[in-house]
């Protein structure tokens, strides 16, 4: 896609020098809530619990279901497709049918911005 001047538009989420990219503001994710965000070309779910933000890949390791559409309880997210449960603090699988952990990503907060470092840094 190009702009009216013929140049390509700039990406809004820029990678910081340390590989972290802004994905949301703290006001967008109140305590006890979660939100699907994009970090580069990766879909992630950001969770807010215990005054901390956590990030997981937005994909169930069982069948690629959208974890962000699942329900949370305590520190667990349940996949809406087949009920696999994961600890959203670590990505660790907690129940069948999933047997593989979900990728988790480092998160930091600067001011009111939530930043995530993905594997590729994008």
Q: Which has the closest alpha carbon to 57: 70, 42, 71?
A: 42
Q: Give pLDDT tens digits for 17-48.
A: 689 999 999 999 999 999 999 998 899 999 99
Q: Under the phi-then-psi rule, with left for phi > 0, alpha for psi from -120 to 50, and beta for the rest, what region is 119?
A: alpha
69-118 residue pLDDT tens:
999 999 999 999 999 999 999 999 999 999 999 999 999 999 999 999 98
pTM of the model: 0.84
Domains of the chain, earliest start first: 33-117 (2.102.10.10)
Instruction: Report the Cα–Cα distance between both ends of the chain, in Å, rounded.
Output: 20
Give CA–CA dist 59/38, Å, rounded: 13
> Which has the closest alpha carbon to 70: 91, 55, 86, 93?
86
């Amino acid at each position: 896609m190009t702009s009216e001047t013929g140049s390509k538009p700039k990406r809004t989420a820029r990678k910081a020098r340390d590989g972290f990219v802004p994905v949301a503001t703290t006001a967008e994710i109140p305590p006890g809530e979660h939100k699907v965000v994009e970090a580069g070309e990766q879909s992630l779910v950001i969770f807010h619990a215990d005054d901390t933000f956590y990030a997981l890949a937005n994909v169930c390791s069982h069948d690629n279901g959208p974890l962000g559409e699942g329900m949370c309880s305590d520190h667990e997210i349940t996949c809406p497709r087949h009920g696999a449960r994961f600890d959203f603090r670590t990505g660790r699988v907690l129940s069948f049918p999933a047997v593989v952990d979900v990728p988790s990503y480092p998160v930091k907060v600067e001011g009111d911005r939530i930043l995530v470092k993905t594997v590729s840094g994008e």
